[in-house]
C-alpha cells in the first residue's frame, strides 16, 4: 500500500488516508427523510471502519427534488438536528463528515412529489417517462437560492465538506448535457449556457459559506448515449465550474438511460472510470476522486500510484465490509468481505424499499445482528458446505460453540463453485475465501468428502443439527433428456474451457442466461429456450440489461414462449405456446431449468430427537443472499 494510507489535505481538511465513502442511498430514513437510529448506526459503522471521509447520501434541497420516499432531506430547518446526529457519529469515529446536495429534476415521479417533475426542457426522463415541467428563469433562480439555503443548513449540522450532485441524470446533469437540455435561452443553447445553472449554484454556495469551505462537484464525465456528455466536453464544463469555486471533482458516469455506468455490475471491469478521472485530473490540475467498481485496496492503491486519482471512492465495498480500510491497513486482506458487484443493494432498494447486501447480511441490521457470546457452549453439526452452511458455522463458532461442518464433495462452496467458473463471476471466489478464512479463524472443524446419513448424525450426537444440504437439479420431462449430448449446467461451468459446439440452453433464468453468455464468449453458437415471455427473470435490473446486451452482441438466439418436446443427437425440437414446432440444431444441450430441495436427510433425522434446523435451498430453492442471511441469523441464535 504505497499511497492508499498516505495523508491528503484539501483546504483546511486533513484526510488520514485516501479512502472516501461516496453518497449511497440507504433507505434507512423515515418516509419523510427524517434521520433514524438505524441510519445513524449505519454511518457510525462506516466511519468506524477507517475511511478518511464519509459523504452522506444525497440530501434533497427541495421537496419536489426527491426521487423517492425515505430520501435524506435538507430543505427545511427541521432536518438539521437529525443530520447533526449523523455528523457527530462520523466525526467521533475519526472520519470527516460531508454531505451531498441534490435535486432529482425529471428523474422522479409525480406519485412521489405530487406534481409534474421539473426539468430544463420538455424532454421526459427516459426511464420513468411522464410529463415534465420546464423550469422558468424565475424557477431556476429560486432553486439556486434553495441550494444556498441547504448549504447553510449543512454547515450548521456539522458537515465539513459539501458536494454538489451534478451527475447521474439528475437536475444539474440534465442542464449540463445536450442529451437533456434543448433550451434556447441563457440556460441552454451552448456549453456556456448549459453550465450556467451549475455555475450559479456554486457561486451561491460560495457566497453563503465563504472561500475557505471545501466544495466538491460530482459529474458524469461520460453519459454513453448519443448526444450525451463526453470526457472532452466535461473538461470544458468543469473549467467553468472550477472558476466558479469548486475545489475537487468526483468523476462518475452514466445517466437515467445508462444506469449500468452508475452502479456497474460484475460484467464490467474494476475501476472502469479511472481513465476518465485521470484525463480530468491532468486537464484541470485540481484533485479528483475516482469512483466505479473500486472494491479492492490493491486496485485503489494502484490508481493513486498511477496518478489517476487523489482520492478513491469505495461505496459498495464499504457496504459489503465497513472495516475494509482498517483491515487493509493492518494487512488482513483475507478477512475483507469483498463486494462482488452483484447489485443486490440496488435490487433490494427497488423491491423491498431498503438496502441489503448479498455478502453482508448485517447491512441495515447492524444492531439487531450484533454477534454476542453464547450463554452455553453447544456441539453443533452443520451438514453442507455451501454459503449458508459456512456462514452459520463460523458465526456459531465465533460465539463460542464447538462446530463441525461436513461436506460431501472435496471442496467447499456448493453452487458457488460452478457459479464462479465464468470469468465475469470469478469474484464469487472471494466470498468462498472469506467464509473459509472465518471458519479457520474461529475453529470450525471441516470434514470434506463426508456424505452424512442418519447413522453418522447419531454417531456424532450433537446438541444441534444444521442442515444446509442444498438442492438437486431438475430435468424437464422431455423425450431424449437422458441422451449423452444433454448436460447439466454444472458440467459446462466446471472451470475448464468448454469445447466450441453448437449449443441449445434450455432454461432462460439467471443461470441459463449466464451459461449462454459464457459459451458464446468461448465461440460457441448458442440458442436459449425459455417458456416464459422473457428471459432473465429474477436478475437485478442493471445486471439483466448488460447481460442481455452481451447476449445480443454475441449473436445468441433467444426463443421465448417455447418449450422442448424432443431431444435427438443433432438437436432439439421445441414447441411454442401456440403449438408451433421448430427444430434447433445442436451438438450439445445444456439444461438450466431449476432445482428442487434435497430433503432426504431432514426426513431421516427429524424424528431422532435432535434439535434440527434447515437453511438455504434444502428448504426451497432461493437466492444466494437469502441462504447467507438465513445462515447468519441462525448462527446468532443457536
Integer Cα distance of 337 and 324 in angstroms: 8
User: CB of 39 within 8 A of CB of 364?
Assistant: no
Residues 370 and 620: their CA atoms lie apart, in Å, by 27
Task: Check if the beta carbon of residue 83 is closer than 8 Å to that of residue 134.
Answer: no
DSSP annotation string for 235-247:
HHHHHHHHHHT--
- Residue 147 φ/ψ, nearest 5 degrees: -65, -40
Q: Which residues pair with 55 in a beta bridge?
A: 98
**Closest by Cα among 261, 365, 391 to 27:** 365
Gap between the Cα atoms of 368 and 347, Å rounded: 22
Q: Which helix (H) or strand (E) holds 251?
A: strand 248-252
**3-class DSSP assignment, residue 96:** strand
Map grid coordinates 464519509 to a residue: 54
Q: How many CA atoms does the CB half-sphere of 423 hold within 13 Å?
A: 12
Q: Residue 167 and residue 144: Cα distance in Å, rounded?
A: 17
The angle at the Cα of 482, spanning 537 to 595, to the nearest 5 degrees, equals 30
Cα–Cα distance for residue pair 186/435, rounded to 1 Å: 57
DSSP 8-state symbol, 410? S
DSSP 8-state symbol, 292: S
Residues designated catalytic: 170
Number of neighbours of residue 36 by Cβ within 10 angstroms: 15
- Cα–Cα distances in Å, from 309 out to 47, 354, 383, 501? 21, 31, 47, 44
Residue 503, all three cell numbers = 449449443
Amino acid at each position: 500500500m504505497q499511497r492508499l494510507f498516505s495523508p491528503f489535505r484539501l483546504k483546511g481538511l486533513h484526510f488520514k488516508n485516501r479512502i472516501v465513502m461516496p453518497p449511497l442511498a440507504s433507505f434507512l430514513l423515515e418516509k419523510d427523510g427524517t434521520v433514524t437510529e438505524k441510519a445513524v448506526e449505519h454511518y457510525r459503522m462506516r466511519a468506524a471502519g477507517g475511511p478518511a471521509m464519509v459523504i452522506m447520501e444525497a440530501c434533497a434541497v427541495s421537496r419536489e427534488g426527491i426521487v423517492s420516499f425515505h430520501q435524506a432531506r435538507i430543505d427545511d430547518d427541521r432536518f438539521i438536528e437529525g443530520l447533526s446526529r449523523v455528523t457527530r457519529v462520523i466525526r467521533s469515529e475519526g472520519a470527516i463528515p460531508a454531505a451531498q446536495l441534490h435535486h432529482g429534476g425529471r428523474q422522479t415521479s409525480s406519485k412521489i412529489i405530487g406534481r409534474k417533475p421539473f426539468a430544463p426542457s420538455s424532454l421526459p426522463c427516459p426511464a420513468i417517462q411522464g410529463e415534465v415541467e420546464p423550469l422558468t428563469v424565475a424557477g431556476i433562480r429560486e432553486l439556486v437560492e434553495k441550494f444556498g439555503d441547504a448549504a447553510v443548513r449543512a454547515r450548521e449540522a456539522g458537515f465539513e465538506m459539501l458536494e454538489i450532485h451534478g451527475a447521474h441524470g439528475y437536475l444539474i446533469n440534465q442542464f449540463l448535457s445536450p442529451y437533456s437540455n434543448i433550451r434556447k435561452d441563457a440556460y441552454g443553447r451552448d456549453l456556456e449556457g448549459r453550465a450556467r445553472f451549475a455555475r450559479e449554484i456554486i457561486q451561491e454556495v460560495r457566497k453563503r459559506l465563504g472561500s475557505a469551505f471545501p466544495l466538491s462537484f460530482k459529474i458524469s464525465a461520460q453519459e454513453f448515449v448519443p448526444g450525451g456528455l463526453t470526457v472532452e466536453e466535461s473538461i470544458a464544463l468543469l473549467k467553468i465550474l472550477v472558476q466558479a469555486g469548486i475545489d475537487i471533482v468526483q468523476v462518475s458516469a452514466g445517466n437515467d438511460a445508462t444506469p449500468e455506468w452508475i452502479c456497474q455490475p460484475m460484467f464490467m471491469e474494476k475501476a472502469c472510470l479511472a481513465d476518465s478521472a485521470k484525463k480530468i485530473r491532468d486537464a484541470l490540475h485540481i484533485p479528483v476522486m475516482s469512483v466505479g467498481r473500486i472494491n479492492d485496496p490493491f486496485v485503489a492503491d494502484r490508481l493513486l500510484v498511477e496518478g489517476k486519482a487523489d482520492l478513491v471512492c469505495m461505496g459498495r465495498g464499504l457496504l459489503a465490509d465497513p472495516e475494509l480500510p482498517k483491515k487493509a491497513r493492518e494487512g488482513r486482506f483475507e478477512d475483507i468481505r469483498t463486494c462482488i458487484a452483484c447489485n443486490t443493494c440496488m435490487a433490494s432498494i427497488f423491491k423491498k424499499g431498503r438496502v441489503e447486501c448479498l455478502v453482508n447480511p448485517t447491512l441495515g441490521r447492524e444492531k439487531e445482528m450484533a454477534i454476542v457470546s453464547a450463554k452455553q457452549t453447544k456441539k453443533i453439526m452443520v451438514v453442507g458446505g455451501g454459503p449458508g452452511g459456512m456462514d452459520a458455522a463460523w458465526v456459531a463458532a465465533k460465539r463460542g460453540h464447538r462446530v463441525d461442518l461436513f461436506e460431501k464433495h472435496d471442496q467447499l462452496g456448493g453452487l458457488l463453485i460452478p457459479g464462479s467458473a465464468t470469468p465475469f463471476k470469478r469474484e464469487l471466489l472471494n466470498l468462498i475465501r472469506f467464509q473459509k478464512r472465518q471458519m479457520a479463524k474461529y475453529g470450525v472443524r471441516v470434514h470434506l468428502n463426508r456424505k452424512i446419513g442418519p447413522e453418522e448424525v447419531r454417531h456424532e450426537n450433537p446438541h444441534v443439527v444444521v442442515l444446509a444440504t442444498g438442492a438437486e437439479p431438475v430435468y424437464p420431462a422431455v423425450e431424449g433428456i437422458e441422451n449423452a449430448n444433454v448436460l447439466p449446467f454444472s458440467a459446462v461451468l466446471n472451470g475448464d474451457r468448454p469445447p466450441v459446439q453448437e449449443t441449445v440452453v434450455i432454461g432462460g433464468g439467471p443461470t441459463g442466461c449466464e451459461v449462454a453468455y459464457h459459451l458464446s464468449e468461448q465461440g460457441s453458437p448458442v440458442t436459449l429456450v425459455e417458456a416464459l415471455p422473457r428471459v432473465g427473470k429474477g436478475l437485478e435490473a442493471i445486471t439483466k440489461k448488460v447481460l442481455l446486451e452481451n447476449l445480443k452482441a454475441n449473436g445468441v438466439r433467444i426463443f421465448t414462449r417455447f418449450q422442448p418436446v424432443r431431444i435427438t443427437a443433432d438437436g432439439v425440437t421445441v414447441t411454442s405456446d401456440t403449438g408451433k414446432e421448430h427444430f434447433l440444431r445442436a451438438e450439445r444441450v445444456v439444461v438450466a431449468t431449476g432445482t428442487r430441495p434435497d430433503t432426504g436427510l431432514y426426513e431421516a433425522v427429524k424424528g431422532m430427537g435432535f434439535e434440527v434446523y434447515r437453511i438455504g435451498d434444502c428448504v426451497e430453492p432461493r437466492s444466494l443472499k437469502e441462504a447467507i442471511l438465513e445462515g447468519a441469523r441462525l448462527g446468532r441464535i443457536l
